[in-house]
Amino acid sequence: MRKGNLSKSEAWITLISTLWRSLSYPIPALNLTKDQCEKIMAPALAYVLPAMGICHMFPRDIVFASERYFNLGIPHLYTMQEIYRLLDILNHTATLSITGSLYQATLELLIIELGSTEDLHKLPFLDLHHLTSYSLIKSTWELSYHNELTLRHNIRFPQPRERDIEIMTTFFTDQLPLDILDHINKCQLYLRAFFLSDITDGSGKYILQEA
């Protein structure tokens, strides 16, 4: 590409069918930020856009937007990464593959850290993301939150008692200040208490002294 004299159509084909394919192949297993993806794409776009007869400073909103709206329609690596991961999660968890088991284990860890089995799209990412570890599932949760996607799961922990409640889910609905919520979350993780019954006596009316 650097030394060859490519036509406009050849530059387009090289970008979409060769370079972008090579870059997109490993991204479902990666967890790159949007800024990192744009740094990876920058050298290629700096060459290809002028080769296609387009200013290299052309607005990126138009470069990456859909051709349906008369834009260039060049796929953004970050968008591709998140879409491919969503497809991986759906396909692998449905077929019960090893990769699917890893995704499920990561989701279970995120649920334990949050202290809630609520579907992820119901939980505000911006308010609660600091409670969880860095993971592929967490990135998918962020994507679903910012793009208003519905992301459901069927992971439910058996209740030790009838009409038991999840401690953190109760506090989430109370809309407590984030610093207080953070302290409560750390306490429930330290006590390994997911349900209210984990910190109460046999009657369920009193919190145990050690808790």
Give the pLDDT confidence score for residue 3 in this predicted structure: 53
- The answer to whether residue 87 is domain-embedded is no
Kindly report the three-state secondary structure assignment for every residue of 122-185.
HCCHHHHHHHCCCCHHHHHHHHHHHCCCCCCCCCCCCCCCCCCCEHHHHHHHCCCCHHHHHHHH
pTM of the model: 0.78
Residue 194 and residue 100 share a domain: yes
Give yes or no: residues 192 and 101 share one domain. yes
Task: Name the residue with tokens 């069927």.
Answer: 154
Query: How far is the C-alpha of 25 from the C-alpha of 16, rounded, in Å?
Result: 13
- Residue 204 falls inside a structural domain: no
Tell me, what amino acid is at 86? Answer: L
Q: Look at residue 177 and tell me if it is in a domain.
A: yes
Q: What is the domain range of residue 21? A: 8-76
Q: Examine the domain organization and report whether 64 and 121 are in the same domain.
A: no
Which alpha helices (DSSP H) does 7-118 contain, by range?
8-13, 20-24, 34-51, 60-64, 77-95, 98-114
- Are both 179 and 101 inside the same structural domain? yes
Cα separation, 34 vs 64, whole angstroms: 13
Answer whether residue 208 shows pLDDT above 70. yes
Kindly report, residue by residue over 14-69, the tens digit of the pLDDT.
888 888 888 888 888 888 888 998 898 888 888 888 888 888 888 888 888 777 77
Residue ending a domain, choose from 76, 108, 129: 76
> Is residue 127 included in any domain, yes or no?
yes
One domain for residues 103 and 193: yes
- State whether 14 and 71 are in the same domain: yes
pLDDT of residue 190: 92
Q: Tell me: do 100 and 192 sit in the same domain.
A: yes
Beta bridge partners of 166: 195
Q: Do residues 38 and 109 both lie within one domain?
A: no
Cα distance between residue 52 and residue 69, in whole Å? 19
Confidence of residue 194 (pLDDT cuts 50, 70, 90): very high
Same domain, 67 and 115: no
185 and 101 in one domain?
A: yes
User: What was the pLDDT predicted at 92?
Assistant: 92
Q: pLDDT tens, 177-188?
A: 888 989 999 999
CA distance 22 to 39: 16
